[in-house]
Amino acid sequence: MSCTCGDRGAGVFNVAVVTDAGGLGDKGKNDMVWRGCQRFVEDGGVGAEVENYEPATEAEGREFLKKASEAGAEAVIVASPVWEGYVHALARDHPETAYLLVGGTRGSERVKALTFPAREAGYMMGVAAAASVPAGNYAFLGGRSDAETRALAAGFAEGVRSEKPSSRVAEVYLGEEFEAPVDIAAATARAAALFEEGAAVIFAAAGPANADVAAVAKDHDKLIIGYESNQNYLERGYVITSLNIRWDDVLFEELCLVAAGKFAGGTRELDLASDHICYPIDDNNRSLIPAAAVEKIEAARQRLAAGGVGG
């Protein structure tokens, strides 16, 4: 599917991407964002060029955002909400630029905050964990302890307890700082500890460290649930499923709107019942997620889409 961007003349449409911690190759959000940009280059119908910035620190990310804005990028994709306040300040000074803020909570005239119902999506994964592996306890391992990740964890615990009310659900984060999700040593140590303390399944929302957490699961003969991209392949037979947020499709759609002159700021929350939020079942995990578990997940999805957690 391609988008129609209208007659923009012969100029190049410039897109800048500032990634979250870990940069490209994270097998998660950053790679999903980049995939959407590459699809836009190939199928967007305009002569587009994408420049990628991969900050190692939060401060470096601000520098990159300023640089991209001053260079005249028509769309700047901000892959982390840590810069939300700074992006709004930049938008006031660069009214010709459209800012697409992944995981943001507040939009404005030139900022589109792209978010998803994290608590409800986490609830679905809690149901997936408890319905697929009814024995043992469960755990959530987050990368950066931000509002979105905490909501995801809260929903996961509620989803587990909807199936197994007496289960223990541990909740652990790698830290609060920007760099926390790239602390592989901390992620593997904490995952191992959670398994050794009785977790049968970890919902791994640890960012770039997820591949290493999957390896720990294999070493302990336990299971994880992946996050943001389809991570079922990381350690085949040890990933029940993944909470796949289709940022690639979302950003393709949004870039098409910008290129067509139809950009509108504000907040866009993804629909829980849409294909933008899914849990892939493929040859890597089909044997791990029983049909009865899928039925329970879908029942939860319909209930949550209608009224939220507890609705």
Crossing angle of helices 84-93 and 58-70, rounded to 10° = 20
196 shares a domain with 147: yes
Task: Name residues whose C-beta falls within 8 Å of residue 169's C-beta, 6 or more positions apart in sequence.
Answer: 126, 137, 138, 139, 140, 156, 157, 160, 161
292 shares a domain with 165: yes
Provide the token pair at 163.
């199936």
Structural domain contains residue 274: no
Which has the closest alpha carbon to 302: 271, 269, 273, 270?
A: 273
Assessment of whether the complete model's pTM goes beyond 0.75: yes
What pLDDT is attached to residue 11?
73
Structural domain contains residue 136: yes
140 shares a domain with 288: yes
Residue 57's domain comprises 13-116+246-269
Structural domain contains residue 104: yes
80 shares a domain with 153: no
171 shares a domain with 144: yes
Structural domain contains residue 190: yes
Structural domain contains residue 57: yes
Look at phi and psi of residue 103 and say left if phi exceeds 0, alpha if psi is from -120 to 50, else beta.
left
What pLDDT is attached to residue 291?
97
Structural domain contains residue 141: yes
241 shares a domain with 251: no
**Tell me, what amino acid is at 260?**
A
The tally of domains found in the chain comes to 2
Q: What is the β-pairing status of strands 13-18 and 169-175?
A: unpaired
**Tens of each residue's pLDDT in the chain, 311 residues:** 456 554 445 578 999 999 999 999 999 999 999 999 999 999 999 999 999 999 999 999 999 999 999 999 999 999 999 999 999 999 999 999 999 999 999 999 999 999 999 999 999 999 999 999 999 899 999 999 999 999 999 999 999 999 999 999 999 999 999 999 999 999 999 999 999 999 999 999 999 999 999 999 999 999 999 999 999 999 999 999 999 999 999 999 999 999 999 999 999 999 999 999 999 999 999 999 999 999 999 999 999 998 866 54
Task: Name residues whose C-beta falls within 8 Å of residue 184's C-beta, 6 or more positions apart in sequence.
Answer: 208, 209, 212
140 shares a domain with 25: no
Q: Give the Å distances, CA to CA, from 157 to 30, 140, 203, 231, 272.
A: 26, 8, 10, 21, 18
Structural domain contains residue 5: no
**Tell me, what amino acid is at 92?**
R
What pLDDT is attached to residue 308?
61
215 shares a domain with 78: no
Strand, coil or helix: 307:
helix
Structural domain contains residue 6: no
180 shares a domain with 108: no
Q: How far is the C-alpha of 108 from the C-alpha of 112, rounded, in Å?
A: 7
Provide the token pair at 217.
């699961």
Q: How far is the C-alpha of 108 from the C-alpha of 99, rounded, in Å?
A: 10
Strand, coil or helix: 46:
coil
Question: What CATH number is associated with residue 48?
Answer: 3.40.50.2300
181 shares a domain with 299: yes
Q: What number of CA atoms fall less than 13 Å from residue 234's CA on the CB side?
A: 29
99 shares a domain with 127: no
235 shares a domain with 255: no
Helices (H), 45-201: 58-70, 84-93, 118-132, 147-163, 184-196
Which has the closest alpha carbon to 258: 9, 11, 10, 15?
A: 15
Which has the closest alpha carbon to 114: 275, 262, 256, 271?
A: 271
